[in-house]
A and B are shown apart, each in its own frame.
Chain A
């Protein structure tokens, strides 16, 4: 495994070096709108807020950007900058500002550079980034179609999603249809990798997470993903993918976690649209985690055996943009655990209808209701959210 790991980097170097030797044509831009804006990156600030009501003050919203208290929540304040670095790279950074127990905090959500011109349809990304697992994990909270994170994502990846420093290589295969293959290696440590090495001081299934050094390739987080897309007709497009994760976890010295996921997305949109409306989309993701937890003796003398925990869950959601500016959504979540730190907790399911109104591409108001049922609670929790969002500055292009 160690040999193949270094081989990976040799290949990467081999691909990159000829690109730098290539001469590039420099086009003189004839119309620069504003001299002061030359060379400045695109900058935008996104504010995402919610007012929330829960039928019980104690609830099950574990997502770090989910509204989780009665009252108002700053879900995220995101500062984004992006630009072309030179003829070879694009780069972008996303800084998140928020509150944690009353204190203002800053998180480095993403900061990465991406190659623009590798041969053979290859693309390399390096820096701090969301693991490109499935559809939801790489999405920033303001791009979510619902107020809160899907239950299965919180269970598998924790409140902040799976993200860490690393490198990713992807290739667009020379086939008549779209097939992309992605592989990444990232650090497996920290609270943004809670199913893996995680952080010392946390627990999983009652076992303390140990301090871990990186001793072998397994102590790095490896991901493989295949993504395919087909245009079923001029107006109907489907995307499907499978994702696979592997790394050691923090409950022992020889314990590992595997997560597999499948995802799909289908969108219908007529050719003639009034500012992008109407449209219908259907999206779903299912994930399965196999977590080998090590044996542990707790402070009170309790001993826990070595044990493998299987956790599964999925969500399926549909959006209907029925009238210009308006989108109605419905999501169903199901998972066989409720608490992300404890896979032994009971089943949980949730139904979330919502209605979004977009005054423009730069603002959004969303009303959502959650019916949230867990085996661990006698009664369901009802929640109502009113979410509001603004973006000032540059508007990033949409991904599909």
Chain B
């Protein structure tokens, strides 16, 4: 008991390391949010993230080292809508950091103000698989939503670091203008694909597809999070042929056996698309993500590339 007390007193006397630092520490749940936070925060911030772009953000282990990151964060940014519900709550409550708890100035839910898709209206239950009760969480994949995400992050930064107001406002303006210009370019590049039909592995692309006028006629998963049985695959193959679907989209972290099989049997082409910025994987920022996605998709659909 006595040694325990001694330890606690020692801790109380230790100066808080973070309170001396002037840089604002931002921790985001995903690399997409980290990329935007870097653009908005500029030199005033250091940005760290939890889920790497190559990882499926639904299935991250709540490692103690992540908890440590959150304990030292000044600003925490998450996608929300249940995407991180398997791990972020454990990290947040274990982090003992009052600055970043939901409701505190240092907490940012990036979804605020975004027109969400697939918000369930009637009764929701899990016979429908892993449905997200507040709407589909993959909203960062419509590049236009990047503006709202950036705005939410800049507002968060402003709350905890009012001195940086001019810098954040300028960075936000620059980011928004850059994104507006890129949107024109991306919309033009994707124009030939308007009206195309695709099949996606998981229902994770509705924002992206809606943006560019592409329709997902079906999914490899019969229900979100539920692996396909052979009867579903058989139907899917018929449907791909009947509706002239040229492309099957799958994230790199899913088992590629099933989508490969589907592509072989149906004649559609499997396109593996990364859904996130990945600094380790050569996609350095939010702009490069869409450059890469659009480049890959348009190449896959060039006349010589199909069938």
A residues apposed to B, CB below 8 Å: 1, 4-5, 7-8, 11, 15, 19, 22, 24-27, 30-31, 33-34, 84, 87, 90, 114-123, 169, 171-174, 177-178, 180-181, 183, 217, 222, 224, 227, 229-231, 237, 239, 246, 267, 269, 271-276, 324-325, 360-362, 392, 395, 397-400
Chain A CB within 8 A of B35 CB: no
Check A397 against B1 for contact (C-beta < 8 Å). Answer: no
Contact of B16 among A114, A174, A271, A272 (CB under 8 A): A174
| Cα(A115)–Cα(B89), bound, Å | 14
Chain A neighbourhood of B307, CB < 8 A: none
Query: What's the nearest-Cβ distance from chain B to residue A113, in Å?
Result: 12
Check B90 against A397 for contact (C-beta < 8 Å). Answer: yes
Check A31 against B59 for contact (C-beta < 8 Å). Answer: no
Chain A neighbourhood of B226, CB < 8 A: 360
What are some 24 contacts across the A-B interface (CB < 8 A)?
A8-B5, A24-B104, A33-B134, A87-B101, A114-B93, A118-B98, A121-B71, A172-B67, A172-B68, A183-B7, A224-B4, A229-B63, A237-B64, A271-B55, A272-B54, A272-B253, A276-B56, A325-B227, A360-B226, A362-B126, A397-B62, A397-B89, A400-B63, A400-B64
Chain A CB within 8 A of B119 CB: yes
Contact of A272 among B58, B71, B88, B252 (CB under 8 A): B252
Query: What's the nearest-Cβ distance from chain A to residue B42, in Å?
Result: 23
| Cα(A120)–Cα(B19), bound, Å | 11
Query: What's the nearest-Cβ distance from chain B to residue A89, in Å?
Result: 10
Chain B neighbourhood of A269, CB < 8 A: 61
Given A116-B101, A120-B16, A229-B63, also A271-B54 (CB < 8 A): yes
Chain A CB within 8 A of B225 CB: yes
Chain B neighbourhood of A24, CB < 8 A: 103-104
| Cα(A173)–Cα(B103), bound, Å | 25
List the A residue with the shortest CB-CB distance to B111: A31
List the A residue with the shortest CB-CB distance to B223: A360
Chain A CB within 8 A of B14 CB: yes
Check B67 against A178 for contact (C-beta < 8 Å). Answer: yes
Further contacts, 17 of them, CB under 8 A, given A33-B119, A224-B3, A273-B59: A1-B1, A11-B5, A30-B113, A31-B135, A33-B133, A87-B103, A117-B99, A120-B12, A123-B96, A173-B11, A177-B65, A181-B7, A274-B253, A274-B254, A398-B62, A398-B90, A400-B64
| Cα(A271)–Cα(B5), bound, Å | 41
Chain A CB within 8 A of B107 CB: yes
Query: What's the nearest-Cβ distance from chain A to residue B168, in Å?
Result: 17
Query: What's the nearest-Cβ distance from chain A to residue B195, in Å?
Result: 31
| Cα(A4)–Cα(B3), bound, Å | 10
Query: What's the nearest-Cβ distance from chain B to residue A24, in Å?
Result: 7
Chain A neighbourhood of B22, CB < 8 A: none
Contact of A4 among B2, B94, B104 (CB under 8 A): B2
List the B residue with the shortest CB-CB distance to A224: B4
Number of interface residues of B (CB under 8 A): 66
List the B residue with the shortest CB-CB distance to A37: B133
| Cα(A178)–Cα(B63), bound, Å | 10
B100-116 CB mask vs A (1 if < 8 Å, else 0) is: 01111101000111001
Check A120 against B14 for contact (C-beta < 8 Å). Answer: yes
Chain A CB within 8 A of B87 CB: yes
Chain A neighbourhood of B71, CB < 8 A: 121, 172
Query: What's the nearest-Cβ distance from chain A to residue B110, in Å?
Result: 12
- Interface members, chain B 101-156 (any A CB < 8 Å): 101-105, 107, 111-113, 116, 119-120, 126, 129-130, 133-135
Chain B neighbourhood of A239, CB < 8 A: 64
Chain A neighbourhood of B101, CB < 8 A: 87, 116-117
Check B68 against A178 for contact (C-beta < 8 Å). Answer: yes
| Cα(A353)–Cα(B59), bound, Å | 26
Query: What's the nearest-Cβ distance from chain B to residue A239, in Å?
Result: 6
Given A24-B104, A397-B85, also A31-B52 (CB < 8 A): no
Check A30 against B112 for contact (C-beta < 8 Å). Answer: yes
Check B159 against A398 for contact (C-beta < 8 Å). Answer: no
Given A183-B4, A183-B8, A217-B1, also A116-B96 (CB < 8 A): yes
| Cα(A105)–Cα(B184), bound, Å | 66
Check A231 against B227 for contact (C-beta < 8 Å). Answer: no
Chain B neighbourhood of A272, CB < 8 A: 54-56, 252-253
Chain A CB within 8 A of B298 CB: no
| Cα(A84)–Cα(B107), bound, Å | 15
Which of A15, A31, A87, A118 is the most central at the interface, judged by chain B CB atoms within 10 Å of its CB? A31
Given A87-B103, A181-B7, also A119-B62 (CB < 8 A): no
List the A residue with the shortest CB-CB distance to B51: A271
Query: What's the nearest-Cβ distance from chain B to residue A93, in Å?
Result: 15
List the B residue with the shortest CB-CB distance to A32: B134
Check A397 against B2 for contact (C-beta < 8 Å). Answer: no
Chain A neighbourhood of B46, CB < 8 A: none
Check A276 against B59 for contact (C-beta < 8 Å). Answer: yes
